[in-house]
Structure 1
Amino acid sequence: MECKVIPFQTAAERDKTDADKAEALLSKAMEGFHKKLVVLDDDPTGVQTVHDVSVYTDWEEESIRKGFEEKENMFFILTNSRSFSVEETTRVHLDIAARVAKVARELGQDFMIISRGDSTLRGHYPLETQLLADGLTKNEGAVVDGEIICPFFPEGGRYTMDNIHYVKEQDNLVPAGMTEFAKDKTFGYKSSDLTEYVEEKTAGKYKKEDCITISLEELNALDIQGIKAKLISAKDMAKIIVNAVSYADLKVFCTALVLAMKEGKHYMARTAAAFTKVMGRILDQPLLGKAQLEGATKNGGIVLIGSHVKKTTDQLNCLKELDGQVDFMEFQVNTVFEENGLEKEVERTVKAAEEKILSGRTVVIYTSRQLLAPENMTPEEKLQISVKISNAVTSIIGKLQVKPKFIIAKGGITSSDVGTKALHVKKARVMGQVKKGIPVWMTGEESKFPGMPYIIFPGNVGEVSTLKEIVEELI
């Protein structure tokens, strides 16, 4: 099928799976299914669809053990590996595979690893899942039969039809390979067809024609046995592409998946956040409002914007309509090329922000939108520069001496670093979402500001007005 822009309504037109029947099928399949779901999150936005689950911000054996010992059937480990080099992500994923296998063996607990990746297909793929599969084989002796690839995420406007993955932009669905995300300097790609994406990303090791594909037609027909047979045929980390335009589609697929696992097959998953919601059996709950998110302090709040994608810039420009009600400060990223430039910029920003917050004003700190990087920089060097800038921006929260009434961090790497490096969160509880796809952590007792709602706003989620709406409600 040709990759072209199609009307957004196409997703609704192809939503034909009976939701009630899909839910009944999955509920029945889940009876007696006791695998612990270990979700590795390559940035902190993977909890976009869940609530009342724990997120651990390190992967020490002790944290993994605590996750396994919780009564819930799923826990998250925030790796933030999208900001890692290849070497670092390799070391971390081999460590995690070994520790998960060891803890599971000692506790006698079966498990499945879900590598929660970006719904716009960026990140260290296929490196991470291959490392995990190799690590589990080495430490467990279990060979992974198949890898589920399911970037469907309706909260963010991501749908997969006829193996083509689409991203909602205004009233259209744009093939992922035609979006700004595909032009990512570090994780760029060309293919929108997921079978071709697999071949592209694996440099031909896995051919497009060898992918196992689960079509919307099979899901609409509730063809559990046919889908299960396809899953059972998988071996040697075969790539399994899941089409979906609704949660009902995903429930049908997960029914077949659970039944295949009950028959002893082993799978790993590289998916967006919708898959974790379905497999974790997370029920819908209302969006969080001011009542749940407002702290006792009379201080102002702080919004930190690090993401540079166009969507974030558009949202920032819309937020600027609140100029006068909130105070805007531009953090100059090009000071990275000056000696001690970033340190001075941080100092200036913190001092100004504290004065405003103490006076009850909410502050928006945003990075200047254009990095004037030398043309001959390699992708690795560009990543290192962006990490340096991210560290500086993050340190603004870490250096604050006054407790804001709320914190919003915009952008995956920014929000992860704020949570772990600035707020020193070791374990957070996911409260829910403030808007679709925008999660809120409740910080733990060990953190810099304990018991504080922390809003994690992904760079690539929301409408143009979403950030403004959240800030407007909280100020």
Structure 2
Amino acid sequence: MSTSTVLDLEDAISGLPPSPSKYSHKSTQAFLEQSRNRVPILVALDEDPTGTQTCHDINFLTVWDTTTLVEEFRQTAYGSGFFISTNSRALHPPQAKDLMHEICSNLKSAAGDAGVEFEIVLRGDSTLRGHFPLEPEAAEDILGKADAWILCPFFCREAANTPFARDATFGYKSSNLRDCVVEKSKGSISADRVQSLTLATIRQGGPEEITRQLMALPSGSIVIINAAATEDVDTVVLGLHQADAAGKKLLFRTGAAWQLSLPGSVGGLIIAGSYVPKTTAQLEVLRKRGGDRLITIELNVKKMLEFEESAKTVIEDAATRAEQEIPNGRDVLIMTSRELVTGEDEASSLDIGSKVAEALVNFLTSLKVKPRYIISKV
């Protein structure tokens, strides 16, 4: 459905087939462990820093030169992987395409030197935002055509009714994800290329039926994963691995979520530039629970955008305050003002986001104390 209507979550899922509990996360992990030597190294190209926040015991690279990648490939076991932070969502399309070409070229060269096989996953913030289909197409320019793209977003409500759909740069109108793919491609992807793994397939057919359908897809298909629970994703993962083992070349685009708690004597630092209502709600809970242990410093975005000196003053004042609090054991939240500031068009809105992100980076690099931890959501 392309029109926007409000659905009640419980009503929407009440008539679905029962969740396939036998394909639990634990059983999926056991399968992956047994198959470790047959699973290529997975490299997650993360367009936004939030992607690593569901992970642990995994390396996160902020550079992608060939020498670094060769070393990383050599120390990463099959069945495991690592992240590369691309921050490509802050770039204009031509620059994002060039960056994807550069990273994929370096990965291909480094993997050859290290003598390993790898696959990539394009980790997108809320999945539907960002440079799609530009980035998977750019990856295919270097790594070769995939038999299918796997699109696995996660929403607890209609996609078109999320704040992400109203993004000034990457917004969309369709809730039906098959329609959304066509919309995001501006018609370059035809509707007949977009397929769907239904919940009936996942929950009643299981991994074997998923594999069968994937193997039967025409080359160039884009597959929507209709998951409504983590068990659904675990079931799909098993099917994907069977299809991969049978020779199906797949390219992935996915999303993520997170939670973290770190006590200690030296204060930590949380940087939040994201302006969507979801982030604002999370920050409200954080500030309430943080109480006196959390100091909030709000950066006035409109003031930072007025003049270069205005932005410098705002950042210097924030850094001075943070340097007073962190050594005394207080966590510091640096957050942008919650009022959304947009430009006249997609490009100018993207430039505003880049300027705010640059200001947050300048704050961090100017900080003269070392926080116990840093969490960034920009």
- Please confirm whether the aligned pair reaches a TM-score higher than 0.5, indicating the same fold: yes
The DSSP-based 3-state class of the residue aligned with 2:132 is coil
Q: 1:178 to 1:66 in 2, by over 3 A?
A: same
**Does the CA contact (< 8 Å) of 2:23 and 2:234 recur in 1?**
no
Q: 1:319 to 1:18 in 2, by over 3 A?
A: closer
**Does the CA contact (< 8 Å) of 1:26 and 1:255 recur in 2?**
no
Q: Distance in 2 between matches of 1:320 and 1:227?
A: 44
Amino acid at match of 1:265: K
Residue number in structure 2 paired with 1:391: 358
Q: 2:298 aligns with which of 324, 330, 341?
A: 330
Offset, 1:250: 1.8
Q: 2:94 aligns with which of 87, 111, 130?
A: 87
Q: 1:382 to 1:260 in 2, by over 3 A?
A: same
**Does the CA contact (< 8 Å) of 1:12 and 1:245 recur in 2?**
no
Give ranges in structure 2 of 5+ residues lacking alignment.
none
Which deviates more from structure 2 when the two are superposed, residues 64-73 or residues 20-29? 20-29
Residue number in structure 1 paired with 2:9: 8
Residue number in structure 1 paired with 2:122: 115
**1:52 equivalent in alignment to 2:19:** no
Residue number in structure 1 paired with 2:150: 148
Residue number in structure 2 paired with 1:460: none
The DSSP-based 3-state class of the residue aligned with 2:38 is coil
List per-residue Cα deviations over 1:374-416 (Å, max 9, x = no partner).
x6x332122212211221123222212122344343x2xx3xx
**1:71 equivalent in alignment to 2:40:** no
Q: Distance in 1 between matches of 2:230 and 2:287?
A: 35
Which deviates more from structure 2 when the two are superposed, residues 210-219 or residues 346-355? 346-355
**1:188 equivalent in alignment to 2:171:** yes
What TM-score do the two structures reach when normalised by structure 2? 0.87
Offset, 1:122: 0.6
Offset, 1:89: 0.9
List per-residue Cα deviations over 1:293-341 (Å, max 9, x = no partner).
52xxx54443333221122333444555466554333322222212521
Q: 1:219 to 1:86 in 2, by over 3 A?
A: same
Q: 2:326 aligns with which of 357, 373, 381?
A: 357
Amino acid at match of 2:325: K
**Does the CA contact (< 8 Å) of 2:299 and 2:334 recur in 1?**
yes
**1:227 equivalent in alignment to 2:210:** yes
Q: Distance in 2 between matches of 1:96 and 1:325?
A: 41
Offset, 1:289: 4.3
Amino acid at match of 1:347: E
Q: Distance in 2 between matches of 1:266 and 1:382?
A: 36
The DSSP-based 3-state class of the residue aligned with 1:245 is coil
Q: 1:341 aligns with which of 303, 310, 316?
A: 310
Q: Distance in 2 between matches of 1:338 and 1:287?
A: 36
**1:253 equivalent in alignment to 2:248:** no
Amino acid at match of 2:370: K
Give ranges in structure 1 of 5+ residues lacking alignment.
138-142, 153-157, 159-166, 168-173, 275-285, 415-475
Residue number in structure 2 paired with 1:401: 368
The 5 A counterparts of 1:196-345 are: 196-273=179-256, 289-290=261-262, 293-294=263-264, 298-321=265-288, 325-335=293-303, 336-345=305-314
Offset, 1:371: 5.6
What is the aligned length?
A: 369
Q: Distance in 2 between matches of 1:236 and 1:44?
A: 32
Residue number in structure 1 paired with 2:41: 36
Q: 1:12 to 1:105 in 2, by over 3 A?
A: farther
Q: 1:354 to 1:127 in 2, by over 3 A?
A: same
Q: Distance in 1 between matches of 2:306 and 2:206?
A: 58
What TM-score do the two structures reach when normalised by structure 1? 0.70
Offset, 1:53: 1.2
Offset, 1:67: 2.8
Q: Distance in 2 between matches of 1:94 and 1:406?
A: 33
Q: Distance in 1 between matches of 2:352 and 2:9?
A: 37
Q: Distance in 2 between matches of 1:323 and 1:407?
A: 19
**Does the CA contact (< 8 Å) of 2:275 and 2:340 recur in 1?**
no
**Does the CA contact (< 8 Å) of 1:22 and 1:222 recur in 2?**
no
Offset, 1:215: 0.9
List per-residue Cα deviations over 1:361-383 (Å, max 9, x = no partner).
4433322233666x6x3321222
Q: Distance in 1 between matches of 2:138 and 2:259?
A: 36
RMSD: 2.8
**Does the CA contact (< 8 Å) of 2:70 and 2:113 recur in 1?**
no
Q: Work out the percentage of aligned pairs sharing the same amino acid.
A: 32
The DSSP-based 3-state class of the residue aligned with 1:112 is strand
The DSSP-based 3-state class of the residue aligned with 1:52 is coil
Offset, 1:94: 0.6
Q: 1:112 to 1:403 in 2, by over 3 A?
A: closer
